[in-house]
Amino acid sequence: MNNRELYGNIRDVYHLLQKNLDKAIEQYDISYVQFGVIQVLAKSGKVSMSKLIENMGCVPSNMTTMIQRMKRDGYVMTEKNPNDQRETLVYLTKKGEETKKQVDVQYSDFLKENCVCFTKEEEGLLEALLLKWKKHLN
């Protein structure tokens, strides 16, 4: 297999995982990207928009639009940083916290279903290879 085929396979797996995750959580009316935002906020509490953009790896305009939709739908709230009024902080609402708890069950099932094809040894090898590659790319 050459590098182009390897990259194509990795891209295909990534897209299939996204599609499968979207399907697993569709009943909650959130996308996998919104789920990612909920995960980051649940772990970090109040987060600046710039930090959220950095963590999610997306462009500012996309994040702003997504946060506005999530705010409209009641998952998040925003407020100005009291120490720096130029900065907007984002945090989960009760609905966002409850949604995270519910979606976590589906997410756990999603991970099991999508990784069941690997033995523990293969899982460890794949993780080691991906971490090596990630380190190289950074």
Domains, the chain, with CATH or none: 3-137 (1.10.10.10)
- 1: pLDDT strictly greater than 80: no
Q: Which two tokens stand for residue 48?
A: 């600046």
Predicted confidence at residue 32, as pLDDT, reads 86
d(CA 136, CA 52): 24
Select the more confidently predicted residue: 31 or 131: 131
- pTM for the full predicted model: 0.80
Distances (CA, A) of 80 to 41, 48, 107, 112: 16, 9, 32, 40
d(CA 39, CA 92): 10
Grouping H, G, I as helix, E, B as strand and the rest as coil, residue 93 is: coil
Predicted confidence at residue 57, as pLDDT, reads 86
d(CA 91, CA 71): 10
- Please give the average per-residue pLDDT across 112-117, as a whole number: 95
